[in-house]
Amino acid sequence: MTSSETFQRARSREAKAVREQAILDAARALAAERGIRTVTLTEIADAVGMHKSAMLRYFETREEIFLRLTAEAWGEWTPALIERLAAASTPAEVAAAFSTTLAERGPFCDLLAQAPLNLERNVSVEAVRAYKLTSGESLARIAEAVRSALPALPESAARDLVAAATSLAGTFWQISTPPPEIAALYRSDPRLGHALIDLEPRLRRILSAYLVGALESA
């Protein structure tokens, strides 16, 4: 029995959950291999052994699939970051917690960049609502953990830190992972050396400077 036949014959709620997870897993693997922008709905369907029209019963668009993956990634990153923040007590340590955990999660950084540009724009209002509720809950938990590490930091500044960290991580990841031929160009021409960046140290420096300034003006 082929995988497509298995999917066609499944009817229960449990089977539907299995299908959805298979679709998400396939999209995640394809995106990790070559980036979100190049992954098509047809390729995801092929990876799980479904026809594209059948897959649309579970996800209306490719953007909805990746928006779900972004929400899941927030859920995975949040406790890992909070654990690191529990051992932090200085601006530099808080900045390091953010920059290290984000740099370790390249696919999440890719999702963070794509979410506001594309993923939230070709989905239903309810899909956006679900995503924003998930990311908003994570933001609140992280901001609370930041303020536990730095009690003098205002709540608004802690929330701004999360927004800045995730926005910059998405942008810097895109810049730091150019196509091979473009990376070779940057390395071959000294005038283009500024285009080669390392996500983690740059993000750490910027976040640390922000925190120092925010504490001084608190």
Q: Provide the number of structural domains found in the chain.
A: 2
Q: Is 92 in the same domain as 68?
A: yes
Closest CA to 34 of 113, 112, 106: 106
Computed over every residue of the chain, the mean pLDDT equals: 92
pLDDT confidence of residue 196:
86
Q: Is 198 in the same domain as 100?
A: yes
Tokens 């029209």 identify what position? 53
Q: Is 204 in the same domain as 127?
A: yes
Q: Which two tokens stand for residue 20?
A: 């959805």
Reported as a single tens digit per residue, the pLDDT across 10-56 is: 567 788 888 999 999 999 999 999 889 899 999 999 999 998 888 88
pLDDT surpassing 70 at residue 8: no
Alpha-carbon gap, residue 145 to 84, rounded angstroms? 10
Alpha-carbon gap, residue 145 to 162, rounded angstroms? 11
pLDDT confidence of residue 67:
97
pLDDT confidence of residue 10:
53
Confidence class of residue 4 from pLDDT cuts 50, 70 and 90?
Answer: very low
Tokens 């497509």 identify what position? 4
Give the end of a domain, one of 22, 44, 59. Answer: 59
Give the end of a domain, one of 9, 30, 59. Answer: 59
Give me the domain span that covers residue 146: 62-216
pLDDT confidence of residue 2:
39
Q: Are 59 and 124 in contact (CB under 8 A)?
A: no
Q: Is 169 in the same domain as 97?
A: yes
Q: Is 124 in the same domain as 33?
A: no
Q: Is 49 in the same domain as 67?
A: no
- Average pLDDT (64-77) is 97
Q: Is 52 in the same domain as 74?
A: no
Q: Is 140 in the same domain as 162?
A: yes
pLDDT confidence of residue 16:
86
Q: Is 1 in the same domain as 46?
A: yes
Alpha-carbon gap, residue 85 to 105, rounded angstroms? 17
pLDDT surpassing 70 at residue 1: no
Q: Is 44 in the same domain as 70?
A: no
Alpha-carbon gap, residue 34 to 115, rounded angstroms? 17
Spell out the residues 6+ positions from residue 48 whose beta carbon is closer than 8 angstroms to its own.
3, 7, 19, 22, 23, 26, 55
pLDDT surpassing 60 at residue 3: no
Q: Is 161 in the same domain as 183?
A: yes
Q: Is 16 in the same domain as 42?
A: yes
Helix (H, G, I), strand (E, B) or coil at 17: helix
Least confident of 6-10, 110-114, 165-169: 6-10
Question: Would you say the pTM of this structure is higher than 0.85?
Answer: yes
pLDDT confidence of residue 11:
65
pLDDT surpassing 70 at residue 194: yes
Side chain identity, residue 64: E
pLDDT confidence of residue 135:
97
Reported as a single tens digit per residue, the pLDDT across 113-143 is: 999 999 999 999 999 999 999 999 999 999 9
Closest CA to 83 of 103, 73, 97, 96: 97
CATH of the domain at 182: 1.10.357.10
CATH of the domain at 24: 1.10.10
